Structure 1
């Protein structure tokens, strides 16, 4: 059994951002909560929306920080400190420029990849040791176009790829919680391989 106790999805609050690529992490936690019959509720104590999913041996808190991407760490650290959740018991889902739409990958620790949400979480937790779930959104090809890209809407084709991947990623999180990281990674990898056939 994995010891993940907190699942975080990164994005920006507000209707003007809800359909933008940068909100892939929000989409994931909303869908994950739905799959388990929950909805995320405003939780001002932790600067975001949250829910708690308890099933079998699973006791998972799900969090959507609502203070804009570059201040995501505030919500994460507040909840983690309150419930005494260690960095290595946290999984953070977010958009990844370096992966194409249709691909998602787990990763443990490492750098921030220039992602403002991850940077702030590292700063607030004082640790790089949390797990990440990177959801591919593709790259516009030029550094100067990155801001417009992440804050823009994906094409219909790319959106469908991302939606499918998020569904599989949610299933992989269940596998991670019931088994371990390796089994979860294998599930995501086999999903990608099947689609490429």
Structure 2
């Protein structure tokens, strides 16, 4: 299962905090998968069949700080454990255009990850694809920064990193093989 963390509502779609959903939309488009709203999972879902591997996709359509409800609901329904999920999310500690793949426990201050860990109620390592969005100079501006739209240059770098991640298969495919 691959999850792209996001905030709901049209006004947030282009914000830095929603880069996880940008990844899922791009991945689905690349593999000709259709995402559809599934209210029972509080989000948009799809699936991929790549090299005989069936992979579920999820973009939660609830606020970031409660994305765990959506992730846990879908994972429980399909009997998927947290360590079988790739969580794709924005990362303040990486510059725009930088991506890093990580397998560990912890949220690094990210509220979406924090809530997922709380919902699964376990201290198991899990897979993350961190997409760099940069960091504001003033740490008091973090909330407004993640909820703002990247400038043209940053947007181009972020989209390029997402394309690279998909091209290089920074997905569950690497874990399944």
Tell me the TM-score normalised to structure 2 length. 0.94
1:40-81 alpha-carbon deviations (Å, 9 max, x no partner): 100111110001112332100000011110110011111111
Name the CA shift for 1:90/1:175 in 2 (closer, same or farther; >3 Å). closer
Match of 1:93 among 83, 88, 91: 88
1:122 aligns with 2:117: yes
Name the CA shift for 1:162/1:129 in 2 (closer, same or farther; >3 Å). same
The offset of 1:176, in angstroms, is 5.0
The offset of 1:110, in angstroms, is 2.7
- What is the alpha-carbon distance in structure 2 between the residues aligned to residue 125 and residue 176 of structure 1? 19
**Residue in 1 that maps onto 2:56:** 61
**Residue in 1 that maps onto 2:73:** 78
- What is the alpha-carbon distance in structure 2 between the residues aligned to residue 165 and residue 175 of structure 1? 13
Tell me the TM-score normalised to structure 1 length. 0.85
1:149 aligns with 2:145: yes
- What is the alpha-carbon distance in structure 1 between the residues aligned to residue 41 and residue 6 of structure 2? 15
- What is the alpha-carbon distance in structure 2 between the residues aligned to residue 108 and residue 175 of structure 1? 12
1:12-31 alpha-carbon deviations (Å, 9 max, x no partner): 11111111101100100000
**Residue in 1 that maps onto 2:166:** 170
Name the CA shift for 1:114/1:130 in 2 (closer, same or farther; >3 Å). same
5+ residue gaps, structure 1, are 1-5, 184-197
- What is the alpha-carbon distance in structure 2 between the residues aligned to residue 61 and residue 7 of structure 1? 6
1:96-138 alpha-carbon deviations (Å, 9 max, x no partner): 0000001000111232111110000000112342200000000
Does the aligned pair in 2 maintain the 1:101–1:135 contact within 8 Å?
yes
- What is the alpha-carbon distance in structure 1 between the residues aligned to residue 61 and residue 24 of structure 2? 13
RMSD: 1.7
The offset of 1:174, in angstroms, is 5.9
1:19 aligns with 2:14: yes
Three-state SS of the structure 1 residue aligned to 2:101 is: strand
1:161 aligns with 2:157: yes
The offset of 1:39, in angstroms, is 2.3
In the TM superposition, structure 1's runs of 4+ consecutive aligned residues that sit over 6 Å from their partners are: none
The offset of 1:172, in angstroms, is 3.1
